[in-house]
Chain A
Amino acid sequence: MADTYRIPIISRGRIIEPGEDAAEFKGRGGATFLAPDPHKHIHDLVLGNPVLLGDLQNTPTRDIIDFLAEAGKRLHIDDNPYLQESFALALRAGGLAEPILRGVYDDLPHMFDPAAMAAQVENTIGIDYLDGWVPSPSGPHCRVRAVGTRQLHITAGNVPVVAALTIVRGALTKSDILIKSPSNDPLTANAIMRTLLELDANHPVCKHVAVAYWKGGDEFMDSQIVRTSRIDKITAWGGMSSVKHIQKFLTPGIDLTALNPKFSMSVIGKEALESEEAMEEAATGIAVISGFYNQTACANTRLVYVECDTDDDSLDKLAELGRKVVAAYKTLPEVMSTPFATPNQDLEAELEAVALEDDFYTVEGDTLNGGVVVSRFPDRVDFFDQLNNRVVNLVPVTDLLDIVKWCDDTTQTVGVYPEALRNRLLDPFALAGVQRLVPLKGGNPMQIFKEMHTLPPGMPHDGIEPLRRNVRWVIDHRPVEEAVPLSIAAE
């Protein structure tokens, strides 16, 4: 395993290797990256003239889907040395355990499934809109087209899915994308693009993707790239850390989609404490939604609000539920969740401090095998924002609607058990900022996990519709008498 990684710039069909004047960057786990100095390659990174997107505009969406589908067949990690390199680096960076990481990489080809991609773009924008001008049903003299734009993507690096999703979405929307790779994953976008380039470097999709790494806060890069003359749309993952440096260059004319970090939760009704079976079922659901991807994902539950009183008997039952959650972690398949090899020192210190306060908290488990902090009063722990390593906080509340005050835009995913709870909470939660409610029932970890992760293609993401948002919707408004009714056009 190399200590120094050579990371070329991918520029619209070309691979620019780091040369003698390569810039050196430090990564996690002691790795060093050598990349061409991005300062010298601004024009290789940005498209500049938007009219040059014409080649992609004129490529039928079906062709693009076919191309991506063909590429998808080559994205099986066992056959792809680029993905193998990216996998090795990701493992070294220490974010996810090997079985989980392996599962995530094994899923990558599915993101290039032709039927799924077609449904995704059809259910959101509509292929007709991408391939031509579609008359408005209520006024056929007006036609609308969804036009590709020039985009900057500041991607997240905790899972390779983000790189794949960015490339697929960019291609399906016939857009020109510049991906700024994150320091915790400088290789995946490259790996996918090198695979596409090997397939056909001259394909219009390849002509409109650039990938490079540069340090966040590099004012020269930010000022060169974030200009309305060069970029139409920015998608920034990671919240403030990715946005803070480019903030001063943002101006009207550049549309920013900020996919900020999320802090998800679950809500459990009193039924979960009323019988042994219900408690087991609820515990399994909680363990799955907290434990998958070892709690590194935006959708992972960290806080669990339980409909429960605060007398000693009720709290004993709540603690019992907590113990069952910790026990359930052990039953999760390792492709979903594993124990941790090293403890999380800061979180262990927090757990130790509250464990000394047994009037207020009951603590079970640890940051290696998973744990739970049961609040003995209706409030979350003060270090809730540090919950990780499969440690969750169980909070007793009398009325689950009260927790609306703790919901906001960061409350992406809310696990629900039992289903009977859902209708009462749905609308208030939606108003408060929640983006998705998911079921926790069933008692079968893989089934719960699969159902939670199988969304019909084209669903909103974090409360927005990124595909629709990232195209430009243009109106061709003609004289009324030139209207071509849809039915005649079809003949």
Chain B
Amino acid sequence: MTETVLEKSGLSPDNPGNWLDDGYERLLAISWRDCEDVQLAILKRRFEELVPQVAALERLAKREGITGIERFEDALPLFFDHRVYKSYPLSLIETRDFPKLTGWLNRLTTHDLTKMDLSGLTMIDDWIDRLDAFGMFIGHSTGTTGKLSFIPRSQTELHAFRSCHNEASRASSGVNPWNDPIETFFPGYRYGHQMALKMVSTFNIPAAGGEEHYHTLYPGRISADLMSLAGRMQAAEDRGELERLGLDPALLKARKEMIAQGKRREQDIEAFFNTLFEEFRGRRVKIGGTFGDLIRTARSGIEKGIKPEFAPGSFIGTGGGMKGFKDPPPDWENYVKDFFGIDTVSMVYGMSEGCGFAPRCQHGFFHTMPHTVPFLFDSDMKLLPREGVQTGRYAFFDLQAETYWGGFISGDQVTIHWEEDCPCGWKGPRVGPVITRFAEMEGGDEKISCAGTAQAYNDFMDFVSQA
């Protein structure tokens, strides 16, 4: 079996985490239909290895009555969705019950977290630090709904994760993060366990050439503790009972500071970019930020008559969508490129729950690579055919997840072109160009009914959702 498999795709089933060791070019030259055999072989192996070791997967497999995988379709009922990564009771975070939280996390990983020393822990960020020291590489979500999810990635996957991140970046920017350091500017937090941020700081600091070449708006870290408690803290504050929650006063102080910081954010970003424009004029730079950050900076810079100038080989690295930014200029990418005087915008498509990233080609499509097996579902959760052009809810199997289950159903609605006819020459099923959130209602947002809850106002989450 192994020999046949090697012939078609040239990829070894033994360790997909090493497929990128020779660069992305090889992977984006293989047709996805030639990869199916090796992908399925790996998926089967993951199922067999992980069911006895990952309790959440075992329970789900038992409920679904699945004892073996013969085809991709067999595995689909076992894909996790975002809820699985936050199915712990919120009160565990509030009461800082690290033994129970760790017990919950333990059910999602093959690592034996029962061997961890949890003594003296009072903060979630410290708990994650300790998990990482134990061998994990935990990332949490932003928690716009006030509850954090925790992705059980570990050091085992770090090599693959770094390769995916760096190679996708190289593919979409032309700049080699492995050996070509570039002064990097990121208008956000420097550190933190939030997965997107953690990835950026873990991989981009070396890519910049070290700490002193990596410039961020805020020097500190984003706090999992603050994010996880935002909802409860606001409710308590509304009742004038914030002090009674029994939280660390340092936490309350940090929250106040973050809210104040949030109010100053626009000025602070402006100042950050002005420093960049003045002190690094004519130099080669990488600029990060959300679409909103870049557009706002361009707008205010144009108003002020600022004309940035950077050396060739500079690029802008962004992603994440418009995120509620109102009234973007019609051709915002060129608008931004024009202002910054930079002709390359690098983008990749991926999400915290997977290691893989799909680089964007010159024609605006995100090409998935063989270590990510993509699927699309319709609104009734039926699998859409893997042919032609299809639009639906995006799901994937991440072959590089070794110590946790790699099957995940996202909340994104995407279009996949399954025929490999992209003018850019790259193969692979390609996503795009538009990615939106999946919603299934037709003409229904005007429906008025009597039952429901109120949306609570939250100063803190207002701030966080901009980040």
Do A and B make up one complex? yes
A residues contacting B by CB (< 8 A) are 25-28, 30, 95, 154-159, 162, 182-184, 215-216, 237-242, 259-263, 295-298, 300, 345, 349-350, 352-360, 375, 377-379, 382-385, 408-410
Interfacial chain B residues near A182, Cβ < 8 Å: 446-448
Contact of B454 among A27, A162, A239, A382 (CB under 8 A): A239
B91–A356 touching, CB < 8 Å: no
B442: interface (CB < 8 Å): yes
In addition to A156-B450, A261-B451, A359-B104, 10 A-B residue pairs with Cβ atoms within 8 Å of each other are A26-B442, A158-B447, A182-B447, A241-B445, A296-B450, A296-B451, A356-B87, A357-B87, A359-B103, A360-B87
Surface stretch bound by A, among B56-64, B112-120, B213-221, B367-375: B56-64
Q: How far is the CA of A237 from the CA of B81 in the complex (A)?
A: 34
Q: A239 and B452: CB pair below 8 A? A: yes
B60 touches A356 (CB 8 A): yes
Max chain A C-beta neighbours (<10 A), residue from B88, B104, B450: B450
- A382's partner among B90, B103, B448, B455 (CB-CB below 8 A) is B90
Q: Majority SS of interface residues in chain A?
A: loop
Distance A116 CA – B59 CA, assembled complex (angstroms): 57
Q: A28-B443, A240-B455, A356-B84 are in contact. Are A298 and B450 (CB under 8 A)?
A: yes
Contacts of A95 in B (CB 8 A): 449
- Do residues A353 and B83 form an inter-chain contact, with CB atoms below 8 A? yes
Contact check, A157 vs B448: say whether CB atoms are below 8 A apart.
yes
How many residue pairs bridge A and B at CB < 8 Å?
A: 129
**Contact A238 B454, beta carbon cutoff 8 Å:** no
Q: What 4 pairs across the A-B complex have the smallest Cβ distances?
A: A261-B452, A238-B448, A353-B83, A26-B443
Contact of B447 among A157, A360, A378, A383 (CB under 8 A): A157
Find out whether the CB atom of A298 lies under 8 angstroms from the CB atom of B91: no
Flag if B88 contacts A360 (CB, 8 Å). yes
A261–B450 touching, CB < 8 Å: yes
With CB as the reference atom, state the residue of chain B lying closest to A182: B448
Q: Are A300 and B87 in contact (CB under 8 A)?
A: no
Q: Which residues of B contact A353 (CB under 8 A)?
A: 81, 83-84, 87
Bound form: Cα–Cα A242–B89 in Å? 33
Q: Which residues of A are found within 8 Å of B455, using beta-carbon distances? A: 240
A312 to chain B, nearest CB (A): 16
Query: Counting chain A CB atoms within 10 Å of each CB, which of B381, B444, B451 scores highest?
Result: B451
Task: Determine which of B60, B86, B450 lies in contact with A238 in the assembled complex, contact meaning CB atoms within 8 Å.
Answer: B450
Chain B nearest CB from A366 CB (Å) reads: 12
How distant is the Cα of A238 from the Cα of B450 in the complex, in angstroms? 6
Contact present for A184 and B448 (CB under 8 Å): yes
Tell whether B147 is near chain A: CB-to-CB under 8 Å: yes
Q: Is B4 an interface residue (CB 8 A)?
A: no
B-side contacts of A382, CB under 8 Å = 86, 89-90, 147
Q: Which residues of A contact B100 (CB under 8 A)?
A: 359
Q: Closest chain A residue to B87 by CB distance?
A: A353
The yes or no answer to B453 lying at the interface (CB within 8 A) is yes
17 CB-based A-B contacts, threshold 8 Å:
A156-B448, A158-B449, A183-B444, A184-B446, A184-B448, A237-B450, A240-B454, A241-B448, A261-B451, A261-B452, A261-B453, A352-B63, A353-B81, A356-B56, A360-B88, A379-B91, A384-B453
Cα-based distance from A408 to B452 in the complex (angstroms)? 13
B91 touches A155 (CB 8 A): no
Check A349 against B448 for contact (C-beta < 8 Å).
Answer: no
A419–B278 alpha-carbon span in the complex (Å): 74
Report whether A377 and B447 are in contact in the complex, using a CB–CB cutoff of 8 Å. no
CB distance from B219 to the nearest CB of A (A): 33
Whether B449 lies near A238 (C-beta < 8 A) is yes
Bound Cα distance A280, B448 (Å): 35
Question: Given contacts A28-B443, A355-B63, is CB(A158)–CB(B89) below 8 Å?
Answer: no
Q: Within 8 Å CB of B447, what residues of A?
A: 28, 157-158, 182-184
Find chain B residues with CB under 8 A from A28 CB. 442-444, 447
Chain A residues with Cβ below 8 Å from B454 are 239-240, 260-261, 408-410
| Whole-angstrom distance between the Cβ of A324 and the nearest chain B Cβ | 24
- A356's closest neighbor in chain B, by CB? B59
- Complex: A161 Cα to B44 Cα, angstroms: 56
Which B residues are CB-close (under 8 A) to A385?
Answer: 452-453
Q: Is the CB of B443 within 8 A of A27?
A: yes
Complex interface: chain A residues within 8 A of B381 (CB): 345
Chain B proximity of A248: nearest CB distance (Å) = 15
| B451→A379 contact, CB < 8 A | no
- A184 to B447, alpha carbons, bound, how many Å? 5
Contacts of B452 in A (CB 8 A): 239, 260-263, 385, 410
Write the nearest CB–CB distance from B450 to chain A, whole angstroms. 4
Measured CB to CB, the nearest residue on chain A to B450 is A298
Task: Please give the distance in Å from B51's CB to the nearest CB on chain A.
Answer: 13
